[in-house]
């Protein structure tokens, strides 16, 4: 076979370890997974009843245009239906954008470390990649502007950023968008948007009206608790959406997910409660870090990156053997840190107890 050369340099995405495999390997009966930033409180109870009704539609292809979800979400966000595109998770939208705009003679700019899929897809398309190091955990927007050249087609921003949890403040984003040439697509990935509490966080949806080269990506996988159903969406100027649509697979969003997402946005109370519990949980992590003088980035998300100043894999392994799955920072660009998803109160207390033991033993 004559594979694309760049494909041979890639490894498939390494997800957080699965609960079942860890149970077996370490002979544990209870596992707590705090590795992939899923919602520890599940999803809205209303979604579960909506799903029962939709199982009958299984033999039928989904509505490829996601008409009902499109209309509900447009009303919810106060945008026009033509300003939306849906993906099989926002991962799929990253892939669609890359497919539509990147090729061996096109350039793309992104932060590092950031969400791995921007680079992964850019590599597959053979694009010219410029990675601009974070500055104390934050996007170096000036550095990213300087990296723009005549070949640049796409710039990726992740706010709040995975894996640091840091966000881009409004004034910084605005002055950045002012300076980016209008033929370059700026992708603003807001997978953790619903968790944000910072007061100087911008209203990105209204910015898509002001900057027709901006696309905002969001997902139902995080606070809405629907990661398994794979629903992400993009909001942008209708011209951008129209140009991207042919690169989208016709039936990329399944019907059960569409029905679930419609019900999920109706339950704003569930989202509010999760957001509040998340902030309370984070407080415990902050206190722990201060008590043990561990460095961390203040986070706007449901995860926290903590620097233990030892090999991240060692911390990861210690927790794993006690039944807690987290992400080692090693594969995330922070070799002495671990990234932990904020769980339920019980899960947070549990993982912090094990981490205290770990610190006493080193
Ligand atoms: C989780 C995550 C995604 C992927 O979300 P899906 O909608 O489940 O594909 C995208 N971007 C960031 C930054 C994430 O953390």
The per-residue pLDDT for range 134-191, each reduced to its tens digit, is 999 999 999 999 999 999 999 999 999 999 999 999 999 999 999 999 999 999 999 9
Residue 265 has pLDDT above 80, yes or no: yes
CA 275/CA 265 separation, integer angstroms: 14
Tell me, using a 6 A CB cutoff, whether residue 189 lines ligand 1. yes
DSSP run (H or E) holding 307: strand 303-307
State in Å: Cα 184 to ligand 1 middle: 22
- Best substitution site from 191, 218, 220 to test ligand 1's pocket, by max atoms within 8 Å of Cβ? 191
pLDDT of residue 253: 97
Q: Which DSSP letter does residue 182 get?
A: T
CA 158/CA 191 separation, integer angstroms: 8
Residue 54 has pLDDT above 80, yes or no: no
Nearest to 160 by CA among 130, 133, 197: 197
Measured in degrees and rounded to the nearest 5, phi and psi for residue 186 equal -100, 120
For residue 289, give the 3-state DSSP assignment. helix
Q: Relative to the CA of 160, which ligand 1 atom is closest?
A: 13
The per-residue pLDDT for range 149-161, each reduced to its tens digit, is 999 999 999 999 9
Q: Relative to the CA of 37, which ligand 1 atom is closest?
A: 1
Question: How many other C-beta atoms can be found within 10 angstroms of the C-beta atom of residue 171?
Answer: 10
The residues facing 217 across adjacent strands are 189, 234
Q: What percent of the chain has pLDDT over 70?
A: 99
- Best substitution site from 118, 158, 221 to test ligand 1's pocket, by max atoms within 8 Å of Cβ? 221
Alpha-carbon dihedral angle through residues 38, 117, 169, 193, given to the nearest 10 degrees: -30
Q: Relative to the CA of 36, which ligand 1 atom is closest?
A: 1
The per-residue pLDDT for range 191-225, each reduced to its tens digit, is 999 999 999 999 999 999 999 999 999 999 999 99
pLDDT class for 55, splitting at 50, 70, 90? Answer: confident
Q: Relative to the CA of 219, which ligand 1 atom is closest?
A: 7
Compute the radius of gyration of the chain from its Cα atoms: 20
Note the residue count of the chain: 362
Tell me, using a 6 A CB cutoff, whether residue 219 lines ligand 1. yes
State in Å: Cα 90 to ligand 1 middle: 6
pLDDT of residue 207: 98
Residue 315 has pLDDT above 70, yes or no: yes
The per-residue pLDDT for range 87-121, each reduced to its tens digit, is 999 999 999 999 999 999 999 999 999 999 999 99
Give me the DSSP letters along 50-79.
HHHHHGGGTTSPP-TT-HHHHHHHHHHHT-
Q: Which DSSP letter does residue 15 get?
A: P
- Best substitution site from 219, 253, 260, 332 to test ligand 1's pocket, by max atoms within 8 Å of Cβ? 219
CA 293/CA 145 separation, integer angstroms: 35
pLDDT of residue 223: 98
When pLDDT is averaged across residues 316-335 and rounded to a whole number, the result is 96
- Best substitution site from 117, 222, 332 to test ligand 1's pocket, by max atoms within 8 Å of Cβ? 222
CA 251 to the chain's CA centroid: 22
Closest residue by CA, ligand 1 atom 14? 191
Tell me, using a 6 A CB cutoff, whether residue 221 lines ligand 1. yes
The per-residue pLDDT for range 245-258, each reduced to its tens digit, is 999 999 999 999 99
When pLDDT is averaged across residues 277-298 and rounded to a whole number, the result is 98
Average pLDDT, the chain: 96
Residue 321 has pLDDT above 70, yes or no: yes
Tell me, using a 6 A CB cutoff, whether residue 208 lines ligand 1. no
Judge whether 334 and 39 are in contact, CB under 8 Å.
no
pLDDT class for 16, splitting at 50, 70, 90? Answer: low
Q: Which DSSP letter does residue 139 get?
A: -
**pTM as predicted:** 0.96
Judge whether 123 and 117 are in contact, CB under 8 Å.
no
Nearest to 351 by CA among 300, 289, 262: 289
pLDDT of residue 50: 83
Residue 53 has pLDDT above 80, yes or no: no
pLDDT of residue 57: 83
pLDDT of residue 82: 98
pLDDT class for 292, splitting at 50, 70, 90? Answer: very high
When pLDDT is averaged across residues 54-67 and rounded to a whole number, the result is 90
Tell me, using a 6 A CB cutoff, whether residue 39 lines ligand 1. no
When pLDDT is averaged across residues 9-13 and rounded to a whole number, the result is 85
Nearest to 165 by CA among 309, 310, 340, 292: 340
pLDDT of residue 49: 82
Residue 129 has pLDDT above 80, yes or no: yes
The residues facing 212 across adjacent strands are none
pLDDT class for 18, splitting at 50, 70, 90? Answer: confident
Place of tokens 């694309």: 4
State in Å: Cα 1 to ligand 1 middle: 32
Tell me, using a 6 A CB cutoff, whether residue 191 lines ligand 1. yes
State in Å: Cα 192 to ligand 1 middle: 8
pLDDT of residue 175: 98
pLDDT of residue 52: 79
Residue 15 has pLDDT above 90, yes or no: no
């Amino acid at each position: 076979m004559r594979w694309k050369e760049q494909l041979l340099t890639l490894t498939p995405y390494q997800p957080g370890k699965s609960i079942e495999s860890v149970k077996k390997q370490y002979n544990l009966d209870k596992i707590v997974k705090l590795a992939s930033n899923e919602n520890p409180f599940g999803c809205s109870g209303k979604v579960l009843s909506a799903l029962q009704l939709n199982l009958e539609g299984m033999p039928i292809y989904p509505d490829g245009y996601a008409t009902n979800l499109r209309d509900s979400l447009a009303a919810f966000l106060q945008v026009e239906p033509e300003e939306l595109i849906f993906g099989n998770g926002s991962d799929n939208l990253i892939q669609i954008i890359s497919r539509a705009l990147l090729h061996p003679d096109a350039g793309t700019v992104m932060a590092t470390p950031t969400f791995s899929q921007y680079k992964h897809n850019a590599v597959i398309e053979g694009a010219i990649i410029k990675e601009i190091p974070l500055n104390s955990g934050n996007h170096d927007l000036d550095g990213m502007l300087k990296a723009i050249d005549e070949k640049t087609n796409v710039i990726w921003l992740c706010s709040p950023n995975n894996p640091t949890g840091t966000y881009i403040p409004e004034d910084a984003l605005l002055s950045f968008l002012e300076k980016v040439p209008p033929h370059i697509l700026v992708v603003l990935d807001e997978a953790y948007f619903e968790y944000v509490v910072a007061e100087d966080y911008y209203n990105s949806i209204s910015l898509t009206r002001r900057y027709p080269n901006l696309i905002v990506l969001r997902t139902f996988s995080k606070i809405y608790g629907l990661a398994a159903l794979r629903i992400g969406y993009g909001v942008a100027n209708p011209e951008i959406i129209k140009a991207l649509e042919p690169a989208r697979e016709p039936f990329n969003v399944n019907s059960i997910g569409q029905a679930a997402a419609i019900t999920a946005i109706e339950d704003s109370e569930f989202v509010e409660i999760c957001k509040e519990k998340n902030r309370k949980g984070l407080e415990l992590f902050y206190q722990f870090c201060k008590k043990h003088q561990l460095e961390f980035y203040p986070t706007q998300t449901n995860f926290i990156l903590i620097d233990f100043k030892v090999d991240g894999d060692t911390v990861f392994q210690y927790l794993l053997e006690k039944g807690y799955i987290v992400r080692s920072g090693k594969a995330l660009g922070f070799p002495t840190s671990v990234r932990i998803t904020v769980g339920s109160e019980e899960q947070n207390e549990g993982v912090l107890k094990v981490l205290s033991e770990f610190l006493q033993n080193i």
